[in-house]
Amino acid sequence: MIVTVTPNLALDVTYELPELRPGHEHHVRAVHGRAGGKGINVARVLRSLGQDVLVLGLAGGATGDAVRADLDGAGLAHDLVPCAGETRRTVTVVADGEATLLREPGPVVGPDEWAALEARIPDADVLVVSGSLPTGVDAAALAGLVARLSARGRPVIVDTSGDALRRAAPYAWAVKPNAEELAAVTGTDDPVVGALMLRSRAVVVSLGAEGLLAVTGDQVHRVPPPRVVTGNPTGAGDAVVAALAAGAGTPWPELLRDAAALSAAAVLAPVAGSFDSAAYEGFRTCLSSPPER
Amino acid sequence: MIVTVTPNLALDVTYELPELRPGHEHHVRAVHGRAGGKGINVARVLRSLGQDVLVLGLAGGATGDAVRADLDGAGLAHDLVPCAGETRRTVTVVADGEATLLREPGPVVGPDEWAALEARIPDADVLVVSGSLPTGVDAAALAGLVARLSARGRPVIVDTSGDALRRAAPYAWAVKPNAEELAAVTGTDDPVVGALMLRSRAVVVSLGAEGLLAVTGDQVHRVPPPRVVTGNPTGAGDAVVAALAAGAGTPWPELLRDAAALSAAAVLAPVAGSFDSAAYEGFRTCLSSPPER
């Protein structure tokens, strides 16, 4: 079983409007809501891959209930710890081909709630901790959690940013920043140098059109994208994390090719947490064929 | 006891932002949510007046639960019939001194749900039906409800607009359109002519800065506002309805003066459903003193 922990989950709500005019009244044409947060996207991808996956996180208030209901509807197993604050919503207003995001601040999470979340994390083959931290939980608290989870002897994959990434990296089996997140936390634009500075056992960097880079110990692996894909880049990084979790233990060159194929297939899908499965198979095949020399 | 029925209740959510830029990402600074819909505003005012009041409506999904929780928190008695659809939210984005409204469409209400709501309406001294109709409920359904409630022998006050107003008016004890709503449904800008066309026992028209007009049978009553007040006009009409409900049976001139005082005091309060109680007492006194001749 793979467990994904989403410390700061959300209900992602989409409003469709003909146009958005500040200062005016609008009748929303259609409303869509789904459970969101990077760990939930990772779990959706893992489930589509046929993996046994459990979603963990903190959920509070009516919006927390809506997250639970959506996970139930999607058939995703979950164990969400109740918290006193109301789970945040992320409202995306789609109007005139343009997206306007309104991110609620989310609940303040207390030390007891954070401890309750940790106490609920079961033993798993692989653990994933994905996304931002809620207000009230600092980078040291995340690093402590990752250290204790790693001490259980199973791979822990962390996908976060900023100080939380920097502090947790030495305790994780793998971290997966993108190029901007890595540069922001290390101060260098060279991803290999940045990856070494993070001192994680493995640093997998998503480089967009340049594919994936993994620095594992003193080895550097690179894999190009299967082909240039255009589409929805949201969720491409979550697909990389899902591939790493599903394939943990596979030799890095093969694991990285699989992650690049799944990530490109996610870009072709309309929403984060899904991927184009036919494209995924095709991309895996073309990345596995021997390179031309 | 006064019962207020809100056929299309909502959760009114306010997002505070520094500025709203279409096409960009925003971190919401503060989120406020409260139960909304005209019948709920009427109930809030009645409760502040010391009346025994019960809130009825249809509520579904997590947002329906949030409405229930807010009513509990406000100490407002309620009996909300569950419906399959999710209760709507009305999001007001307040940025740069400007309000941008995003109104969700709300649930589609089926005939069984509408019948269940009617079955739950208890006998009351006064019944209020306020606000718009949900999708799936037409003007004829409202008119039928108002006719059956009126047959119980107690005053029924209806505050709605459009065809629903036109069809329900003949069965109500009183209706309370504003000047625009009355003109829209009768096609005349003369509020006395329009009021007569509605064929209700009493038509109370809120005329903004010109005060209130009531046409009851063949009598026309007018009351000016106590003084020119500026503030928040949202909820001024709901205060008029609350005053009519609380004072039903009082002779019209006195009832109308009270409604004008309460409405002006509501304009001075920051949110719909509240009023400035000191101003209310003062306005009542000045409107009750004999007119100068």
Q: Which two tokens stand for residue A71?
A: 């996970």
- Number of residues that make up chain A: 293
The nearest CA of chain B is from the CA of A81 a distance in Å of 17
pLDDT digit string (tens) for A124-136? 999 999 999 999 9
Q: What is the mean pLDDT of residues A18-43?
A: 94
Question: Contact at 8 Å (CB) between B77 and B54?
Answer: yes
Cβ–Cβ gap A63/B62 under 8 Å: yes
Cβ–Cβ gap B103/A28 under 8 Å: yes
Q: Under CATH, what is the fold of the domain A2-8+38-64+108-288?
A: UDP-N-acetylmuramoyl-L-alanine:D-glutamate ligase (3.40.1190)
The nearest CA of chain A is from the CA of B117 a distance in Å of 23
Q: Which two tokens stand for residue A242?
A: 């899902």
User: DSSP letters of B57-100?
Assistant: EEE-HHHHHHHHHHHHHHT-EEEEEE-SSPPEEEEEEEETTEEE
The nearest CA of chain A is from the CA of B208 a distance in Å of 21
User: Which residues of A belong to the active site?
Assistant: 238
pLDDT of residue B292: 52
The position carrying tokens 């004829």 is B140
Confidence of residue A291 (pLDDT cuts 50, 70, 90): low
Cβ–Cβ gap A100/B26 under 8 Å: yes
Cβ–Cβ gap A26/B101 under 8 Å: yes
Q: Which two tokens stand for residue A199?
A: 């001192």
Task: Tell me which chain B residues have a C-beta less than 8 angstroms from the C-beta of A61.
Answer: 66, 69
Q: What is the mean pLDDT of residues A173-186?
A: 97
Average pLDDT, chain A: 94
Partner residue facing A91 (CB), from B66, B86, B91: B91
pLDDT at position B228 over 90: no
Q: What is the mean pLDDT of residues A189-213?
A: 95
B115 touches chain A (CB under 8 A): no
A103 touches chain B (CB under 8 A): yes
pLDDT at position A209 over 80: yes
Cβ–Cβ gap B104/A28 under 8 Å: yes
Mutate to test the interface with B, among A11, A104, A234 (most CBs of B within 10 A): A104
Closest listed residue to residue A15, CA positions, set B131, B1, B104:
B104
Backbone angles phi, psi at A207, to 5 degrees: -110, 20
pLDDT of residue B185: 97
How far are the Cα atoms of A14, A29, A92, A161, A221 from residue B12, in angstroms, in the given order? 17, 18, 18, 34, 52
Q: A86: which residues sit within 8 A by CB, 6+ positions away?
A: A60, A61, A62, A63, A64, A107
Partner residue facing A101 (CB), from B26, B103, B105: B26
Q: What is the mean pLDDT of residues A180-207?
A: 96
Cβ–Cβ gap B103/A62 under 8 Å: no
pLDDT of residue A228: 76
Cβ–Cβ gap A22/B98 under 8 Å: yes
Q: Which two tokens stand for residue A245?
A: 């979790």
Cβ–Cβ gap B31/A105 under 8 Å: yes
pLDDT digit string (tens) for B123-177? 999 999 999 999 999 999 999 999 999 999 999 999 999 999 999 999 999 999 9
Q: Which two tokens stand for residue B231?
A: 């503030």
Q: Which of A230-234, B54-58, B190-194 has the lowest mean pLDDT?
A: A230-234
Cβ–Cβ gap B103/A29 under 8 Å: no
Q: How many C-beta atoms surround the C-beta of residue B251 within 10 A?
A: 9
Confidence of residue A235 (pLDDT cuts 50, 70, 90): confident
| Distance (Å, whole) CA B150 – CA B134 | 22
B257 versus A97: the higher-pLDDT residue is: B257
Partner residue facing A103 (CB), from B27, B100, B101: B27
pLDDT digit string (tens) for B254-272? 999 999 999 999 999 888 8
Confidence of residue A292 (pLDDT cuts 50, 70, 90): low
Q: What is the mean pLDDT of residues B83-110?
A: 93
| Distance (Å, whole) CA A46 – CA A124 | 14
pLDDT at position B191 over 60: yes
Residues 26-65 of A with CB under 8 A from B: 26-31, 33, 61-63, 65
| Distance (Å, whole) CA B286 – CA B276 | 15
Task: Tell me which chain A residues have a C-beta less than 8 angstroms from the C-beta of B103.
Answer: 25-28
Identity at A215, one-letter amino acid code: V
B21 touches chain A (CB under 8 A): yes
| Distance (Å, whole) CA B99 – CA B92 | 6
Give the sheet arrangement for strand B126-130, strand by strand: B77-82, B53-59, B2-6, B126-130, B156-159, B174-175, B202-206, B212-216, B219-223
pLDDT of residue B291: 54
pLDDT at position B232 over 80: no
Task: Tell me which chain A residues have a C-beta less than 8 angstroms from the C-beta of B73.
Answer: none
Task: Tell me which chain A residues have a C-beta less than 8 angstroms from the C-beta of B98.
Answer: 22-23
The CATH number of the domain covering residues in B2-8+37-84+110-288: 3.40.1190.20
The nearest CA of chain B is from the CA of A178 a distance in Å of 19
Cβ–Cβ gap A69/B62 under 8 Å: yes
End-to-end Cα distance, chain B: 40
- Options B12, B159, B238, B258, the catalytic residue: B238
Q: Are strands B88-95 and B98-103 parallel, antiparallel or unpaired?
A: antiparallel
Partner residue facing A15 (CB), from B30, B96, B102: B102
User: DSSP letters of A129-160?
Assistant: EESPPPBT--HHHHHHHHHHHHTTTS-EEEE-
Mutate to test the interface with B, among A102, A108, A132, A135 (most CBs of B within 10 A): A102
pLDDT of residue A227: 81
| Distance (Å, whole) CA B244 – CA B203 | 11
Closest listed residue to residue A81, CA positions, set A1, A7, A164, A171:
A7
pLDDT of residue B217: 87
Q: Are strands B98-103 and A25-27 parallel, antiparallel or unpaired?
A: parallel
pLDDT at position A293 over 50: no
| Distance (Å, whole) CA B108 – CA B86 | 9
Residues 58-97 of A with CB under 8 A from B: 61-63, 65-66, 69, 91, 93, 95-96
| Distance (Å, whole) CA A227 – CA B50 | 71
Give me the total of CB pairs closer than 8 Å, taking one residue from chain A and one from chain B: 90
The nearest CA of chain B is from the CA of A62 a distance in Å of 5
Q: Which of A39-48, A143-152, B263-272 has the lowest mean pLDDT?
A: B263-272
The nearest CA of chain A is from the CA of B41 a distance in Å of 20
User: DSSP letters of A197-239?
Assistant: HHT-SEEEEE-GGG-EEEEETTEEEEE--SS---S--TTHHHH
pLDDT of residue A234: 81
